[in-house]
């Protein structure tokens, strides 16, 4: 199941664990990425909390936790090579994995068609 937020994040669910990243639209808007900061494995995130930072040459942007949960993995390869997030934001450029407190909350997020229709 693939879901999106209006803050330009995507979530892909495998059971109660979701992989989180930024959308291709966000990556395009940000431009070349040069630095990424990810949450610590084991960290508890509240919905809307700043979970990660992605920085282009020109600006820093927060990536907010889309739903409450616990961080179970982070993409160290993206930290080592932030450009990956710009070139493959919805693949190898994923940011972190979150074990959701309540997996049913995924149903409240947008599907791909709804996100595509979002005014940007």
Partner 1 sequence: MGATEARDRVPRRLVSWNHQMHADTFGTFDDTLASGPQRTPLHALHLRRGARMVPFSGYDMPLHYPAGLLKEHLHTRAGAGLFDVSHMGQIALHADDPADAARALEALIPADILGLRSGRQRYGLLTDAAGGIRDDLMVARFGDRLVLVVNAANKAADLAHLRANLPASVTATPLDRALVALQGPAAEAALARLAPEVAAMRFMDAADIPILGQDCLVTRSGYTGEDGFEISVPGFAAEALAEALLADGSVMPAGLGARDSLRLEAGLCLHGSDIGPDTTPTEAGLAWAIPSVRRAGGAREGGFPGAARILAEIAAGPARRRVGLRPEGRSPVRAGAPLFADAAAPEPVGIVTSGGFGPSLGAPVAMAMLPIALAAAGTRLLAEVRGQRLPVQVVPLPFVPAGFKRG
- Interface residues with partner 1 (CB under 8 A) are 7-9, 22, 26, 29-32, 34-35, 37, 48, 50, 53-64
Tell me the C-alpha distance between 78 and 80, whole Å: 5
Q: How far is the CB of 45 from partner 1 (least distance, A)?
A: 14
Q: How far is the CB of 44 from partner 1 (least distance, A)?
A: 17
Place of tokens 């160290």: 76
Question: What SS3 state is found at 76?
Answer: helix
Q: How far is the CB of 51 from partner 1 (least distance, A)?
A: 10
Nearest CB to partner 1, comparing residues 62 and 112: 62
């Amino acid at each position: 199941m693939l879901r999106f937020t209006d803050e330009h994040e995507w979530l892909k669910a495998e059971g109660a664990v979701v992989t989180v990243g930024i959308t291709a639209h966000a990556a395009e808007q940000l431009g070349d990425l040069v630095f990424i900061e990810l949450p610590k494995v084991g960290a508890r995130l509240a919905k809307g909390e700043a979970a990660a930072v992605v920085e282009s040459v020109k600006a820093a942007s927060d990536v907010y936790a889309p739903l409450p949960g616990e961080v179970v993995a982070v993409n160290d390869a993206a930290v080592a090579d932030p450009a990956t997030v710009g070139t493959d934001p919805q693949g190898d450029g994923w940011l972190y994995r979150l074990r959701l407190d309540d997996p049913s909350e995924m149903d409240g997020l947008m599907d791909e068609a709804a996100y595509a229709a979002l005014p940007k």
